[in-house]
Structure 1
Amino acid sequence: MKWNLRLAAANRGIWKASELHRLLTERGMVISAGKMSGLWSGHPASIKLQDLDVICAVLGCGIADLLIPEPEKVPGPAEAGQPRVAATGDGPAVTPKRRDGRSLPPL
Structure 2
Amino acid sequence: MKWNLRLAAAQRGIWKASELQRMLAERGLVISVGKMSGLWSGNPVSIKLSDLDALCAVLDCGIEDIMSPEPGTFALPGTQAESQAATGGVRPEVTPKRRDGRSLPPA
TM-score, with length taken from structure 2: 0.76
Aligned CA RMSD, in angstroms, stands at: 2.6
**CA offsets, 1:45-74, max 9 Å, x none?**
210000011000000000000011000112
Structure 1 residues 70-81: aligned runs within 5 Å: 70-81=70-81
Q: Secondary structure at the match of 1:39?
A: helix
Q: Secondary structure at the match of 2:55?
A: helix
Structure number with higher helix proportion: 2
**Which ranges of structure 1 fall in alignment gaps of 5 or more residues?**
84-91
The answer to which of 17-26 and 36-45 deviates more is 36-45
The answer to which of 22-31 and 73-82 deviates more is 73-82
**Which ranges of structure 2 fall in alignment gaps of 5 or more residues?**
85-92
Sequence identity (%)? 59
**CA offsets, 1:24-64, max 9 Å, x none?**
01111111111100000022121000001100000000000
Question: Are residues 95 and 24 of structure 1, via their aligned partners in 2, closer, same or farther at CA, if it must alter by over 3 Å?
Answer: farther
- Residue 104 of structure 1: aligned partner: 102
The answer to which of 55-64 and 41-50 deviates more is 41-50
Q: Distance in 1 between matches of 2:95 and 2:30?
A: 41
Structure 1 residues 1-107: aligned runs within 5 Å: 1-81=1-81, 82=83, 95=96, 103-104=101-102, 106=104
